[in-house]
Amino acid sequence: MLSAEADLANPASLALQPDLSVRSGGRTLRAVPGTLLRLVVALVYLFLLGPIAVIVATSFSSTHSMAFPPPGLSFRWYGEFLRSDNFTSAFRFSLELGISASIIGTFIGFFTAYAARRLMERRGGVVQSLAMLPLLIPHLLISISLLLALNFVSLPDFASLLAGHVLICTPFTVAGIIASLDGVDAQLETAAMTLGASRLTALIEVVVPLVAPGVLSAFLFAFVVSFGDVYIALFLAGPGTTTLPIEIFSYVQWESSPVIAAITSVQIMMIVVLGLVIEKLVGLRRIMRV
Amino acid sequence: MQSSRKLLVAFLAPATVLYTVFLLAPVSLFLAFGLMRYDAIQLFQPVLTLANFGRIVLDPFYRGIILLTLKIAGLTTVCTLLVGYPVAYVLASGRSAWRGILMFLVVAPLMTGEIVRTYGWIVVLGSEGLVNRFLLALGIIHDPLKLLNTQLAVVIALVHILLPFMIFPLISALASQDPDLARAADTLGAGRMRAFLEVTLPLSRTGIMVGSLLVFTLSAGAVVTPSLLGGKDVQMLGQTIYDLVLHTLNWPLASACASILLALQLCFVTIQIRANRRALRRS
């Protein structure tokens, strides 16, 4: 199913490409969106970003009510968040889990992406499609299945949660790193090997430095995927291994208070920063090929 | 070159182990449970039976859940397509200065995760939320509307959450088209609307397919959004599986529900591929 995205694997089709900007200015038919079209698009963006802006605004509310717009402004809910042990420890745990899962996911993603790219064309394509498998199986099922497996093989809570998170990160790291590898001239590697370097040396000394920005963004994106996950943790989180989204989920089921808005705002800001870093490094779109 | 081949095979080992041990084996085990008899004490009895599937098909309660899941996932898919297409169209047409920023703004919300955005809709749709305040202030309504705990709220939030999954495949399908084709149709007198309907739209079929599949799959299996926004009115397949595992502890029935969920997904793919093939034959 990913063959449709093949053009994105090609860096020549990336955002902000010079060849596209040359075509703009009415020379292409598609480059002249009518006023109506622009209006529709603006409304869709309002729809996409509105609720997130509302959360951030609510987090500065001075009262306990969830009324919007808030009647007054304050930082009290951020203080409340920092004082709440449940939420701060869940936040810390999510950070730890996210970092561990994305480090492992990036390593596995790099090895897989490299092999997929250097194998023969057809087999490489198969590897790439198989790597997307965790995206096609509902995450809910992955989580339940891991919980079930724990009945037969005993594994620490953290390990099963980690395994689940590595699984859902890997499709993104594979896709992102394949996209970066496509941008590397394969002849450089061949040249190094002709000059006597082994494949491993060529890989470490020629390829790795060239794809480093892509690998770093894949890592950051994997972290974000892990940090935002609810489904894997839904069944695998337990006492002491509760992730932030699960803590929020169980809280919001019973009551609603601006403290949740403050927590999610912190998360939103963190993600916006990471997103900007990835955008700067390689462009978010290359990882979002799925 | 022999040794470098071995190296490549070794590189595939970690992913193979990960996927086999933590994905394929456990998921197959769980799905196999659907054929076992339920036992309140031992989790299951190793007796092969089709009773779990029979119950889902015959019991009006479970049939209703499947129909509601299809309805909500179907509506969500159609709405994301309608809302996402114009955005993808504009983004694919490449107006360089804004393109990068607009693209970023599509992905950034996606990165915040389902719980954050569902929470956003709780705030927006609540009885004192933005929508009700706005409508009250305009005098359109006199009492706050009940927007939370409705099917509508679930569909709105799912469309919002899953929109990027529709937009990105559409962009890649649209961006890979030769713009000359649509321009040629226009120049030859088709007009812009007809050029779009008869050239651009059919050529973006793969994008529509991939996007719809992702959105349908993710919405049919949703748990968090329907539980928080749907209230008692909305009981979808994903939530049912969740309850069966965590509260009723009926693993075999949960497994059968999961198989049904996967079967719905498979039906959806098959229908799409059929429609695609028929459309290709026609043109």
Tell me what ipTM this predicted complex has: 0.86
> What pLDDT sits at residue A12?
33
Structure tokens at B228: 């928080």
Longest CA–CA separation in chain B, Å: 78
Percentage of chain B lying above the pLDDT 70 cut: 97
Identify the H or E element spanning B48.
strand B43-48
Chain A residues near residue B92 by CB distance under 8 angstroms: 30
- Find, in chain A, the residue whose alpha carbon is nearest to that of B81: A44
pLDDT at residue A185 tops 90: no
Instruction: State how far the Cα of B165 lies from the Cα of A228, in Å rounded to an integer.
Output: 16
Q: Can the peptide bond before residue A69 be classed as cis, meaning omega within 30 degrees of 0?
A: yes
pLDDT at residue A23 tops 50: no
Which DSSP category does B59 fall into?
-
> What pLDDT sits at residue B90?
85
The alpha-carbon gap from A143 to the nearest alpha carbon of chain B, in Å, equals 9
- Find, in chain B, the residue whose alpha carbon is nearest to that of A190: B1
Question: Residue B71 maps to which CATH number?
Answer: 1.10.3720.10
Helix (H, G, I), strand (E, B) or coil at B112: coil
Q: Is B163 on the interface with A (CB under 8 A)?
A: yes
Mean pLDDT of chain A: 81
Q: Is B80 on the interface with A (CB under 8 A)?
A: no
Facing residue for A267 by CB, picked from B83, B112, B169 = B112
The alpha-carbon gap from A190 to the nearest alpha carbon of chain B, in Å, equals 12
- Cβ <8 Å between A141 and B108: no
Facing residue for B93 by CB, picked from A31, A224, A288 = A31
Least confident of A29-33, A47-51, A92-96: A29-33
pLDDT band at residue A285 using 50, 70 and 90 as cut-offs: low
> What pLDDT sits at residue A221?
86
Instruction: State how far the Cα of A89 lies from the Cα of A242, in Å rounded to an integer.
Output: 8
Structure tokens at B47: 């007796």
Q: Looking at domain A76-286, which CATH architecture does it have?
A: Orthogonal Bundle (1.10)
- Find, in chain B, the residue whose alpha carbon is nearest to that of A5: B172
Are A211 and A180 within 8 A, CB to CB?
Answer: yes
Instruction: State how far the Cα of B199 lies from the Cα of B216, in Å rounded to an integer.
Output: 26
Which residues between 28 and 47 in chain B have a beta carbon less than 8 angstroms from any beta carbon of chain A? 29-30, 33, 43
Task: For residue B166, give its domain range.
Answer: 66-282
Backbone angles phi, psi at A230, to 5 degrees: -110, -35
Chain B residues near residue A228 by CB distance under 8 angstroms: 111-116
Task: Categorise residue A283: left if φ over 0, alpha if ψ from -120 to 50, beta otherwise.
Answer: left
pLDDT tens column, B159-201: 999 998 899 888 888 877 777 777 777 777 777 777 777 777 7
Q: Is B99 on the interface with A (CB under 8 A)?
A: yes
- Cβ <8 Å between B11 and A133: no
> What pLDDT sits at residue A8?
34
pLDDT band at residue B133 using 50, 70 and 90 as cut-offs: confident
Are A199 and A173 within 8 A, CB to CB?
Answer: no
> What pLDDT sits at residue A163?
94
pLDDT tens column, A209-247: 888 888 988 898 899 889 989 999 999 988 888 999 999
Instruction: State how far the Cα of A11 lies from the Cα of A7, in Å rounded to an integer.
Output: 8
- Is B29 within a domain? no
Q: Can the peptide bond before residue A239 be classed as cis, meaning omega within 30 degrees of 0?
A: no
Domain ranges across chain A: 15-59, 76-286
What's the average model confidence in pLDDT over B75-104? Answer: 84
pTM: 0.84
- Find, in chain A, the residue whose alpha carbon is nearest to that of B219: A138
pLDDT at residue B26 tops 60: yes
Chain B residues near residue A147 by CB distance under 8 angstroms: 245
Structural domains in chain B (count):
1
- Is B154 within a domain? yes
pLDDT at residue A276 tops 90: no
Chain B residues near residue A44 by CB distance under 8 angstroms: 83-84, 86-87, 163
Mean pLDDT of chain B: 86
- Is B4 within a domain? no
Q: Is B17 on the interface with A (CB under 8 A)?
A: no
pLDDT band at residue B79 using 50, 70 and 90 as cut-offs: very high
- Is B276 within a domain? yes
Facing residue for A28 by CB, picked from B7, B12, B183 = B183
pLDDT band at residue A101 using 50, 70 and 90 as cut-offs: very high
Residue type, position B148, single letter: L
Least confident of A27-36, A44-53, A111-120, A226-235: A27-36
Chain B residues near residue A130 by CB distance under 8 angstroms: 19
Facing residue for A141 by CB, picked from B30, B93, B120 = B30
- Find, in chain B, the residue whose alpha carbon is nearest to that of A221: B111
> What pLDDT sits at residue B94?
65
Residue type, position B234, single letter: V
Q: Per residue, what are the HEC states of A63-78? A: CCCCCCCCCCECCHHH
Instruction: State how far the Cα of A288 lies from the Cα of A270, in Å rounded to an integer.
Output: 19
